[in-house]
Amino acid sequence: MAERLANRLKDRRTELGLTQAELAERVGVTRKTVNTVENGVFTPSATLAIKLAAALELSVEQLFWIER
């Protein structure tokens, strides 16, 4: 069965009152990259996942998980 990397990026970002552009600026990527990660179109590298988790004040495991 196919596995996919699910995330709660959008929920957490909204909780913190951040826009995609603001989160992107914190992490040092473009809004497009945040958008694709949020929508599950793009699987981020470990580096980017850690940066996103740090920016959203969560652990990587809280932010991302594998869905089967």
Q: Which helix (H) or strand (E) holds 65?
A: strand 64-67
Span 24-63, contacts to other proteins by CB under 8 A: 24-25, 28-33, 35-39, 41-42, 44-45, 48
Q: In terms of CB distance, is 36 or 58 closer to other proteins?
A: 36
Cα 46 from Cα 49, distance rounded (Å):
5
CB of 52 to other proteins, least distance (A): 11
CB of 17 to other proteins, least distance (A): 18
b/e per residue 15-35 (b: at least 16 CB within 10 A): eeebebeebbeebebeeebbb
- Residues engaged in binding other proteins (CB under 8 A): 21, 24-25, 28-33, 35-39, 41-42, 44-45, 48
